[in-house]
Amino acid sequence: MSTPATQPVITPSSSHTDKPTVRVGTRKSALAMKQADFVVTSLQKLHPGINFEIKGMHSAADKDKITALYKFGGKGLWTNELEAELMGGALDMIVHSLKDMPTGLPDGCVLACVTRREDPRDVVVVKGGLENKYKTLADLPDGAVVGTSSVRRMAQIRRRYPKLHFKDMRGNIDTRIKKLDAEDSEFSVLILAAAGLLRMGYDARISQYLESGTEGGGMLHAVGQGGLGIEARADDTQTLELLKALESEADMLACEAERSVMRTLEGGCSIPIGVETKWVGENKLRLTGTVVNVEGTEAADAEGVQEIKTREDAVEFGKLVAQKLTDNGAQKILDVINVDREASRESAEAWIPA
């Protein structure tokens, strides 16, 4: 006999081995898994002939909660392992919260897709929920404790509400809310991203939306907040093609502009910068940015409106707004923050993705 005597045995669990498999990686938190699930469900509807698999991975920083975060080497802290798997071919794409993605990716990896953005704003969550007589930051008495580990959030709130106090609050969303609600908790409110709460189904805990302007507490959100960023290999044309269907062009352009501000200002390290983008006319994007010192006593603000049609337009626009921020004193504020951070080893969004 010239043909092989044994054929591979098809077991029930490998009944779809005839289908091509696309492997989707993400961090193994409840929110990250939900986000990956959303991406896979959307892709599966479009491609019933492909088998999609989600692989949740703990990063080194997730596994080791004792070693100080800075000892992991900072950049890409939460993404290095996933990217190694992607480049080695064990994964075909990674689903990230866009705001946790460094603005510079390793060679060979690209931001293949930005999905339609969830509400990008930060929100206030009050202790005990909506029964609480306090609903907004303006309601809080002097000395009330705000929980956040983000310098960006703390600095901007201090600027408007100098009499509030701040304490670090880390952990994933469930952990943070539990800490807030605990009977003996010292916190009055937490500041979180609307996107995470909405995706987790915790809409009912949102008591105030923060945004630019007095009503919104003058708060600008993090770069890329609310968007999902999907990373793939630059040469994997099949995956890049699949992901085109999930891209929201308007949100991608706005997020590219925001990331460009960050990339232009940061020089390696993540910085506490707030942004807000809004489409204000046909192809016209308005981008507002702020850099505030930790004490909330000094700020550089800038705004621009420009016609944006391509990714390159968005990147150039981001550079322009970054330059305006620098002209208005951002660099001086950032230099002080970088020196302080070197001493305290704190980072901008604390780099604890939810």
Helix (H), strand (E) at residue 255: helix 249-266
User: What is the pattern of x (binds ligand PBG, CB under 6 A) and - over residues 148-187?
Assistant: ----------------------------------------
Cβ neighbour number for residue 62 with a 10 Å cutoff? 16
User: What is the pattern of x (binds ligand PBG, CB under 6 A) and - over residues 299-328?
Assistant: ------------------------------
Binding piece for ligand PBG, criterion CB under 6 A, among 19-27, 66-74, 131-139, 193-201 = 193-201
Binding piece for ligand PBG, criterion CB under 6 A, among 67-75, 93-101, 108-116, 204-212 = 93-101
Pick the closer one to ligand PBG by CB: 173 or 294: 173
Find the catalytic residue in 64, 92, 100, 168: 100
Pick the closer one to ligand PBG by CB: 196 or 274: 196
- CA–CA separation, 108 and 85 (whole Å): 13
Tell me how many residues contact ligand PBG (CB under 6 A): 13
Binding piece for ligand PBG, criterion CB under 6 A, among 10-18, 65-73, 189-197, 335-343 = 189-197
Exposure class string for 337-351: b at 16+ Cβ within 10 A, else e: beeebeeeebbbbbb
Q: What is the DSSP string of 38-89?
A: HHHHHHHHH-TTSEEEEEEE--HHHH-SSS-GGGGTSTTTTTHHHHHHHHHT
Pick the closer one to ligand PBG by CB: 192 or 292: 192
Q: In whole angstroms, how far apart are CA 176 and each of 34, 56, 287?
A: 18, 21, 31
User: Could you tell me the smallest distance in angstroms from the CB atom of residue 113 to ligand PBG?
Assistant: 15
Chain residues 197-256 in contact with ligand PBG, contact rule CB under 6 A: 225-226
Q: Is 174 a catalytic residue?
A: no
Q: Binding of ligand PBG at residue 81 (CB under 6 A)?
A: no
Binding piece for ligand PBG, criterion CB under 6 A, among 74-82, 95-103, 206-214, 236-244 = 95-103
Q: In whole angstroms, how far apart are CA 5 and each of 1, 9, 94, 140?
A: 8, 12, 40, 77
Q: Which two tokens stand for residue 286?
A: 């308005």
Helix, strand and coil content of the chain, in percent to the nearest 5, comes to 40, 25, 40
Query: Which of 124, 154, 169, 192 is the binder for ligand PBG (CB under 6 A)?
Result: 192
- CA–CA separation, 230 and 240 (whole Å): 10
Q: Binding of ligand PBG at residue 102 (CB under 6 A)?
A: no
User: Could you tell me the smallest distance in angstroms from the CB atom of residue 19 to ligand PBG?
Assistant: 31
Pick the closer one to ligand PBG by CB: 25 or 196: 196
For helices 311-327 and 330-344, the axis angle rounded to 10 degrees is 90
Query: Which of 100, 231, 236, 276 is the binder for ligand PBG (CB under 6 A)?
Result: 100
Strands 228-233 and 93-97: antiparallel
Binding piece for ligand PBG, criterion CB under 6 A, among 97-105, 240-248, 283-291, 299-307 = 97-105
Cβ neighbour number for residue 51 with a 10 Å cutoff? 16
Pick the closer one to ligand PBG by CB: 153 or 233: 153
How many residues can be counted in the chain? 354
Contacting residues toward ligand PBG, per CB under 6 A: 97, 99-100, 192-193, 195-196, 225-226, 349, 352-354
Query: Which residues are marked as active site?
Result: 100
